[in-house]
């Protein structure tokens, strides 16, 4: 594979940067960029799926609004509206020619090269925004969606909401996630589950978590140290439409071991069953029936084969949406 051969890597050859499309190889920042030194960036992950009507972006507006909310929490003054960034995301996908892809919008504090300033104070640094896309397969492996994954309880505690706001999808939060993920990998697991500061179940390194017991579903509440996941919200709405009771409540670690089913949700992970935790088999040690049903409905929705719950608009059809080509 040739280095930087974007067609072989199935990467969108154009990246949106502050209102214009630039070549992948031209998307560069200065080494003294504030975000590189202090983690001052917020981002999103969004999937685009193939459908009979062409590529469709899943819950685009909700993801972009969460991006803007994250920026607001960190006092990042943004010059773009939700509509601007939705249109820009559509433009990147349309220009890419990809039928399916993962979209990565990111906002960060850069560097004013004419009047550079350094230090923790972020205010003097300009805000920059990029949107990239690439074809990304199953995050936890192609077989994980059906066969499940083996995970562990991490020794690392999830960040508390009063130290780093969990409801913001900020790059700094993912240093905690990296510790969780690396520990799991070196110990032979696919993923780790973090507990919060009280010892209750929080989430994976990049996924929300659900537990099934006696036909009902349990998941940690938004008030805890979890990211308000959009796939999480989608699964809750799908479950309720199917008549399955969902409880948003604190979950003890031990409850995971005696659950009938446990699964992850997330844009990258989609809906991934967990077959063991700390080498303890969960249920029958394979994907459970409720997880399977939720997966089936979820994938029917994202591929445009079934309407979303309450007929909500969850898909943005790229070929049917006007994307601005001029600078925003």
- List, by residue number, the catalytic residues: 169
How do beta strands 216-219 and 246-248 pair? parallel
Output the furthest CA–CA distance in the chain (Å, rounded).
63
> 62, 236, 207: which is closest to 145 by C-alpha?
207
How far is C-alpha 255 from the geometric centre of its chain's CA atoms? 26
Residue 153 CB neighbours (<10 A): 18
What is the DSSP secondary structure assignment for residue 145, as one 8-state letter? Answer: H
DSSP string, 254-304: HHHHT-SEEEEEETTTEEEEEEEETTEEPTTSS--HHHHHHHHHHHHHHTT
Residue 241 CB neighbours (<10 A): 12
Beta strands in the chain (DSSP E): 14-17, 20-23, 41-43, 46-49, 56-58, 101-109, 127-134, 149-153, 191-195, 201-204, 208-213, 216-219, 246-248, 261-266, 270-277, 280-281, 315-317
Judge whether 136 and 21 are in contact, CB under 8 Å: no
């Amino acid at each position: 594979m040739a280095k930087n051969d974007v067609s072989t890597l199935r990467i969108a050859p154009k990246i949106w940067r502050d209102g214009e499309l630039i070549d992948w190889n031209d998307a560069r920042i200065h080494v003294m960029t504030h975000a590189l030194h202090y983690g001052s960036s917020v981002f999103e992950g969004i999937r685009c799926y193939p459908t009979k009507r062409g590529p469709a972006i899943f819950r685009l507006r909700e993801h972009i609004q969460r991006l803007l909310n994250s920026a607001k929490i960190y006092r990042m003054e943004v010059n773009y509206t939700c509509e601007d960034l939705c249109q820009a995301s559509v433009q990147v996908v349309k220009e890419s020619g990809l039928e399916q892809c993962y979209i990565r919008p990111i906002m960060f504090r850069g560097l004013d090269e004419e009047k550079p300033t350094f230090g923790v104070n972020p205010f003097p640094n300009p805000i920059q925004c990029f949107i990239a896309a690439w074809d990304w397969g199953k995050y936890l492996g192609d077989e994980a969606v059906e066969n499940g994954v083996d995970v562990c309880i991490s020794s690392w505690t999830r960040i508390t909401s009063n130290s780093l706001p969990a409801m913001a999808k900020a790059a700094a939060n993912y240093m905690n996630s990296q510790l969780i993920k690396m520990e799991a990998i070196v110990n032979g697991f696919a993923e780790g589950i973090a507990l919060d500061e009280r010892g209750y179940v929080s989430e994976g390194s990049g996924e929300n978590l659900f537990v099934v017991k006696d036909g009902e579903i349990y998941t940690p509440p938004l008030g805890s140290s979890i990211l308000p996941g959009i796939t999480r919200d989608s699964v809750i709405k799908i479950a309720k439409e199917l008549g399955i009771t969902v409880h948003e409540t604190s979950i003890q670690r031990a409850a995971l071991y005696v659950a009938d089913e446990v699964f992850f949700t997330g844009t990258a992970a989609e809906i991934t069953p967990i077959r063991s935790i700390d080498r303890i088999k969960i249920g029958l040690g394979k994907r459970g029936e409720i997880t399977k049903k939720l997966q089936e409905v979820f994938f029917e929705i994202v591929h445009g084969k079934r309407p979303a719950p309450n007929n909500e608009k969850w898909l943005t059809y790229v070929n049917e949406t006007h994307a601005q080509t001029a600078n925003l």
